[in-house]
Amino acid sequence: MERLRLSDGLLEQVAAYAAEAVSAVSASDLSTPTPCAQWDLLSLLLHVHRSLGFLIASLEHGSRPGPGPVGPARSRQIAGRLDGDAGEVIAAALLHRTERLVRVHDTIRAGRGPAYVPVGDRLMPRELVAASGAVEIAVHAWDVATSCGRVLPIPDAPATELLDLSAPLVDAVRRHGLFDPPVPVIANRRPSDRLVALLGRDPR
């Protein structure tokens, strides 16, 4: 893991994909079910927003794991306090944090800051933390697009790299309840299909 390094531009590609995935979200979509069985779209968007916040904090100076997912009742309370289209507001906030993550990672790659950060009670390589974040953002962005009825595969280049990164990460993220067991998929399916299947989604 110490030699793990994301390719130049990977997080930017993931951020661009996430931007496209959330671009069509509206208030009428927020109650729709998602590939994450326990969440509707509103809960999923809030989960990704919170996860990005803790990921950024971890990369900047380390943090302990944050609170668990926002339940449906709390999600509705949050949405009810927002002015305008709640879907657009939450999507914009999510994109702001995605862009900030890219900037934070660029700073790290420039050689500033320690190579390891505390996450929970462990020291972890910053690049490993960034890699787990890239996987989570991409797959949850796919969830968002699918929930809105869109066919939006993760582009081949980032999906292929994320597949390679996921092999050592998948057990760890699954232990934290982020993803379901793998779904069988034929080997010659496109990288996006194989990635989401590895993380418990049915690409069909």
- The pLDDT value recorded for residue 180 is 66
Name the residue with higher pLDDT: 158 or 75: 158
- The pLDDT value recorded for residue 145 is 96
pLDDT in tens, 152-175: 999 999 999 999 888 766 665 555
- The pLDDT value recorded for residue 184 is 82
pTM across the whole model: 0.83
- CATH number assigned to the domain covering 10-150: 1.20.120.450
Half-sphere exposure of 174 (CA within 13 A, CB side): 12
User: Which backbone phi and psi does 171 adopt, to 5 degrees?
Assistant: -65, -40
Helix H, strand E, coil C: the string for the chain is CCCCCCCCCHHHHHHHHHHHHHCCCCHHHCCCECCCCCCEHHHHHHHHHHHHHHHHHHHHHCECCCCCCCCHHHHHHHHHCCCCCHHHHHHHHHHHHHHHHHHHHHHHHCCCCCCEEEECCEEEEHHHHHHHHHHHHHHHHHHHHHHCCCCCCCCHHHHHHHHHHHHHHHHHHHHCCCCCCCCCCCCCCCHHHHHHHHCCCCCC
pLDDT in tens, 25-51: 888 888 899 998 788 898 899 888 888
> Residue ranges per domain, the chain?
10-150
pLDDT(82) > 60? no
pLDDT(188) > 90? no
Amino acid at 29: D
Give the closest residue to 35 by CA, choosing from 149, 174, 131: 149
Q: Residue 146: pLDDT band by 50, 70, 90 thresholds?
A: very high
